[in-house]
């Protein structure tokens, strides 16, 4: 990947810290423990060096930390097209389409839809190197690649009448994604491509919503040629994530909202803070293990299959957001098995 070498600026860094603290203080007044932890991390990380006017150190910032999915796709030499899809209940979803580098692959291609998992977005298919990202691999193999985004995630926080800052916007769970988002996305992709069927690859929650819809709707089932389920989710009895320990109390939405909520009804919608962590905490001169630990809470961690140099990019885009109601739905399923 292309890297930019940026000499730390005292003013730029101070403004970043000031804005981050303002965001925390304004949105998380009751969570003093988290604030203390955040301060401790900053003090013991490389951040103080960045604040020194005469510091000779430089920080290597991967531009993909700040790039959108479309910008990342285009930076790799592919063409990216974004589309907006309206669901039956007026949520507006974004899908990304990857056009191949080689023009000869553009005609009569099989269509594949990639659907991300819980607390994720379309970035999950393109965050690694080109030869390690499924979205690019499939495009190079000749597939017409589409990347879906479920409601509430990074690129699908829109509605015809509701604002994402309202509590009403976040009144949904994965069942709505299965019954409304997924068929709307599949129908749109088929209409755009002129195909009668597509291939579907889901990860985690992306498999769950597909299982739910495929099982209950024979018409929808006729539109899917084949499905590949990565880390499939049906039952949660064998979940090993530390989040499972919270299932006993997660049934109370008020508790979950107090613990995690930033936007009313929204979960983990703190992209400015996440990117701040990516810049100052995840890079190799600081505490990359902290970022990997946070991600491992949600998705597990395998050091043999983790590219630590790409960790700042991964952490900048994941965890993405979802609704508190969605997390409560998962907690209910976990505690009742």
Q: Is residue 27 part of a domain?
A: no
Kindly report the average pLDDT of the chain as a whole number.
Answer: 77
Q: Is residue 243 part of a domain?
A: no
| Distances in whole angstroms, Cα of residue 92 to Cα of each of 25, 73, 85, 188 | 31, 22, 5, 12
Top-ranked range on mean pLDDT: pick from 41-45, 144-148, 251-255, 259-263: 144-148
Q: Is residue 146 part of a domain?
A: yes
Which pLDDT value is given to residue 321? Answer: 85
List, for residues 155-170, the tens digit of each pLDDT value: 999 999 999 888 899 9
The residue ranges of DSSP E strands in 160-261, in sequence order, are 198-203, 224-230
List, for residues 235-264, the tens digit of each pLDDT value: 777 776 666 666 665 655 555 555 555 445
Contact 250, 335 (CB under 8 A): yes
Q: Is residue 309 part of a domain?
A: no
pLDDT at 175 over 60: yes
Which pLDDT value is given to residue 53? Answer: 42
Q: Is residue 58 part of a domain?
A: no
Which pLDDT value is given to residue 51? Answer: 45
Q: Which positions ≥6 away from 39 have C-beta within 8 Å?
A: none
Task: Give the integer Cα–Cα distance in Å for 168 and 291.
Answer: 32
Q: Is residue 287 part of a domain?
A: no
Residues 268-291, mean pLDDT to the nearest whole number: 59
Range with the poorest average pLDDT among 40-44, 114-118, 142-146, 196-200: 40-44
Q: Which positions ≥6 away from 55 have C-beta within 8 Å?
A: 8, 49
The three-class DSSP label of residue 83 is strand
Nearest to 140 by CA among 77, 228, 224, 67: 77
Q: Is residue 94 part of a domain?
A: yes
Which pLDDT value is given to residue 299? Answer: 64
Domain range for residue 135? 69-230
| Distances in whole angstroms, Cα of residue 267 to Cα of each of 83, 231, 257, 258, 317 | 25, 22, 8, 10, 14
Length of the chain: 337
Q: In angstroms, how far is CA 99 from the centroid of its own chain?
A: 22
Which pLDDT value is given to residue 30? Answer: 39
Q: Is residue 209 part of a domain?
A: yes
List, for residues 51-96, the tens digit of each pLDDT value: 444 445 556 678 888 899 999 999 999 999 999 999 999 999 999 9
Tokens of 214: 């495929």
- CATH number of 118's domain: 3.40.50.1820
pLDDT at 26 over 60: no
Ramachandran region, residue 231 (left: φ > 0; alpha: ψ -120 to 50; beta: rest): left
Nearest to 98 by CA among 115, 79, 111, 113: 79
What is this structure's pTM? 0.77
Task: Give the integer Cα–Cα distance in Å for 272 and 234.
Answer: 33
Domain count, the chain: 1
| DSSP codes of every residue in 141-159 | TT-EEEE---TTSTT--EE
Which residue would you say has higher pLDDT here, 184 or 5?
184
């Amino acid at each position: 990947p292309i890297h930019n070498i940026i000499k730390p600026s005292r003013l730029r860094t101070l403004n970043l810290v000031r804005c981050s603290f303002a965001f925390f203080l304004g949105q998380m007044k009751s969570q003093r423990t988290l604030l203390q932890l955040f301060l401790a991390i900053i003090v013991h990380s490389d951040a103080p060096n960045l604040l020194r006017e005469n510091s000779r150190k430089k920080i290597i910032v991967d531009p993909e930390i700040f790039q959108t999915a479309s910008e990342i796709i285009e930076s790799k030499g592919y063409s990216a097209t974004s589309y907006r899809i309206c669901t039956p209940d007026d949520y507006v979803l974004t899908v990304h389409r990857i056009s191949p580098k080689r023009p000869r692959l553009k005609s009569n291609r099989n269509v594949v839809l990639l659907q991300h998992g819980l607390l994720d977005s379309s970035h999950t298919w393109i965050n690694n190197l080109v030869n390690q990202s499924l979205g690019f691999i499939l495009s190079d193999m000749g597939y017409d690649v589409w990347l879906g985004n479920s409601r509430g995630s990074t690129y699908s926080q829109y509605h015809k009448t509701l604002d994402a800052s309202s509590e009403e916007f976040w009144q949904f769970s994965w069942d709505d994604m299965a019954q409304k988002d997924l068929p709307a996305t599949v129908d749109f992709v088929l209409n755009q491509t002129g195909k009668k069927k597509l291939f579907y690859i889901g990860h985690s929650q992306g498999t769950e919503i597909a299982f739910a819809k495929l099982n209950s709707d024979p018409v929808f089932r006729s539109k899917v040629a084949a499905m590949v389920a990565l880390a499939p989710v049906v039952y949660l009895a064998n979940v090993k994530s530390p989040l499972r320990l919270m299932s006993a109390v997660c049934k109370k939405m008020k508790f979950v909202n107090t613990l995690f909520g930033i936007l009313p009804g929204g979960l983990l919608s703190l992209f400015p803070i996440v990117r701040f962590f990516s810049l100052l905490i995840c890079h190799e001169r600081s505490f990359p293990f902290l970022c990997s630990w946070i991600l491992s809470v949600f998705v597990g961690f395998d050091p043999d299959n983790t590219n630590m140099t790409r960790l700042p990019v991964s952490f900048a885009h994941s965890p993405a957001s979802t609704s508190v109601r969605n997390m409560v739905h998962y907690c209910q399923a976990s505690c009742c098995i």
